[in-house]
Amino acid sequence: MSLQELKEKLWKAKHLVVLTGAGISAESGVPTFRGEGGLWKQFRAVDLATPEAFARDPELVWEFYNWRRELIAPLSPNPGHFALAEIERRIPHFTLITQNIDGLHKKAGSTNIIELHGNLWKVRCTRCETTSEDLSMPLPKLPSCRSCGSLLRPHVVWFGEMLEPKVLNAAFDAISSCDLMIVIGTSGTVQPAASMGIQAKRNGALAAEINLEPTPYSDVYDISILGKSGEILPKLLCRKEE
Q: Which residues are catalytic?
A: 117
CB atoms within 10 A of CB 137: 10
The rounded distance, in Å, linking the Cα atoms of 152 and 163 is 18
Listed in sequence order, the residues at least 6 apart from 5 whose beta carbon sits closer than 8 Å to its beta carbon are 223
Among positions 95, 110, 187, 224, the unique one binding ligand BV8 when judged by CB under 6 A: 187
- For residues 94 to 133, the per-residue mask of contacts with ligand BV8, x marking binding by CB under 6 A and - elsewhere, is -----xxx---------------x----------------
The rounded distance, in Å, linking the Cα atoms of 83 and 21 is 15
Binding of residue 29 to ligand BV8 (CB under 6 A): no
Q: Which stretch binds Zn ion (CB under 5 A): 30-38, 40-48, 130-138, 161-169?
A: 130-138
Binding of residue 217 to ligand BV8 (CB under 6 A): no
The rounded distance, in Å, linking the Cα atoms of 60 and 70 is 15
Helix ranges (DSSP H) in 127-195: 165-177
Q: Which stretch binds Zn ion (CB under 5 A): 13-21, 24-32, 141-149, 199-207?
A: 141-149
User: CA angle, corner 84, sides to 83 and 90, nearest 5?
Assistant: 90
Binding of residue 229 to ligand BV8 (CB under 6 A): yes
The one of ligand BV8, Zn ion, none whose footprint includes residue 117, by CB under 5 to 8 A per kind, is: ligand BV8
The two beta strands, 206-211 and 180-184, are parallel
Q: Which of residues 98-127 bind Zn ion (CB under 5 A)?
A: 125, 127
In the DSSP assignment, the letter for residue 223 is: E
Cis peptide before 234 (omega within 30 of 0): no
Residue 57 or residue 146: which is nearer to ligand BV8 going by CB? Answer: 57
Residues of this chain that bind ligand BV8 (CB under 6 A)? 21-23, 26-27, 32-35, 45-46, 49, 99-101, 117, 156-163, 185-187, 189-192, 211-213, 215, 228-230
